[in-house]
Amino acid sequence: MRRLAGRTALVTGGGQGVGRGIALALAAEGAAVVITGRTEGTLEDTARVIAERGGRVQTVVGDVGERTDVERMVAETVREFGGLDVLVNNAQSSVQRCLEQTSYDDVQLAYRSGPLAAFQAMRAALPHLMASRGSVVNLGSSAAVLGEAGFASYAMAKEAIRGLSRVAAREWGPYGIRVNIVCPAALSPAAQEYFAAHPEKAEQVVAGIPLGRMGDPETDIGRAVAALVSDDMAYLTGATLMLEGGRTLIG
């Protein structure tokens, strides 16, 4: 019996990168998966892979920066599969700039697609998560934990997500809902694009990872998330899991 058989998961930004890896891993453990995003083509590509592997999948095109879209994502998940057990808030848009060059619009973009989107999704999902005693995983970032230069608006948004998650873990624990944060370091398309533009940064980042490599979105990040939302981790909530090969080790 696969660990997530009979459960339903919603993954925002599930068409590519880390979100895709998480969706593939959840489906491999038996969950019915709904993946959302703004680009229909990437969603359909990921859905095809899940279906070819024998999984159950549905796609919902929408923008997590729009409250009505977020509410529709949750509603369509429940309508398609009859409930919601796992919510993964992965989608995030941002512009990487140093602090003095970061604009108010940059910050608005990061917050609207990050912590505000997660807030809306969690609020919309709450009645269904209460019914299932489900689990929420929100995506943070080691760049934010480290206060990495050049990531001002992104770091702000990701740390806001961690604050939101810890409050929700405390308030929703009595409902049996677990809320945890994952900070991944994975070779997603966004990371590949950034490293291609900043090759010296790529060398620096990998050199600072004790395990000597960036993570794989499915096997390193996705499978860890699948374990996190399973009954194997039923006593863990409010935690930040640093899935980044030891990059943020101190001392």
pLDDT for 92 equals: 95
Q: Which residues are marked as active site? A: 154
Query: For 182-238, what is each residue's pLDDT tens digit?
Result: 999 998 887 888 788 888 888 888 899 999 999 999 999 999 999 999 999 999 999
pLDDT in tens, 131-168: 999 999 999 999 999 999 999 999 999 999 999 999 99
User: Is the pLDDT confidence value at 72 over 90?
Assistant: yes
Do the beta carbons of residue 56 and residue 35 sit within 8 Å? no
d(CA 23, CA 172) in angstroms, rounded, equals 24
Cα atoms in the Cβ-side hemisphere of radius 13 Å centred on 221: 31
Name the one residue in this structure whose structure tokens are 């979100």. 19
Q: What are phi and psi of 176, to 5 degrees?
A: 85, 10
Q: Distance between CA 5 and CA 15 in Å, rounded? A: 22
pTM recorded for the entire structure: 0.95
Please tell me the distance from the alpha carbon of residue 12 to that of residue 169, in angstroms, as a whole number. 20
Q: What is the pLDDT of residue 202?
A: 85
Query: Which domains are seen in the chain, by residue range?
Result: 8-184+216-237 (3.40.50.720)
